[in-house]
Amino acid sequence: MRIAILNETSAADRNVDILRALEGRGHMLINAGMKQNGAKPELTYIHTGLLGALFLNLGVADFVVGGCGTGQGFLNSVMQYPGVCCGHIVSPLDAWLFTQINGGNCISLMLNQGYGWASDVNLKMIFDQLFAVESGIGYPPHRRESQQSSRRILESISQTTHFAMHEILRRLPESIVQEALTYPGIFDALGFDDLPHSDLKEEIKKWRQ
């Protein structure tokens, strides 16, 4: 699995904990966000939400790990875009249920509020459970058929109620798109030169420096 990790400015110092928690699982990690608090330029959850959606809609990542101080900001930011199903994950049980019931492709972590002793261990346990079960299978078993149907309907609703990603980029304030796409290393993380031609690639290309 290709996993994009997108830390924003208030939780940049948690990046190393996330990397350690994901190590040794056989996934390809794309560490595309901030790595140190106070570094310039900054990405807020507004920017990482947009970037998370781009990684998913371009097919560069299969899964996005984001978050912020409470986890609520990134959750609300990334869910403004099509093709994203994000869960607010605080505990290993959250992760275990989210994978089975919601079959999502993105999680938002609480990386400052309540982040204390053994929180790095909690992160590891979250990822243990996130990847321990089949995505979208449904839980409990007698609810599987209904939950799988709801997940398919939700995917369809997401596509129906949003503009296409390339159109969204055109409509967003230029300052937001510019700050996200000109962040150091983003074009490399996207593997931009190897992306197949698409309207979204052409729209992103306008911001290449």
How far is Cα 155 from Cα 14, in angstroms, rounded to an integer? 31
In order of their start, the domains of the chain are: 2-205 (3.40.1400.10)
pLDDT band of residue 183 (cuts 50, 70, 90) is: very high
Summarised one tens digit per residue, pLDDT across range 142-171 is 999 999 999 999 999 999 999 999 999 999
Task: Give the predicted TM-score (pTM) of the model.
Answer: 0.96
| pLDDT of amino acid 194 | 95
Q: In what order do the strands lie in the sheet with 28-31?
A: 28-31, 2-5, 63-68, 106-110, 86-89
80, 106 contact by CB (below 8 A): no
Lookup result for tokens 């875009």: 81
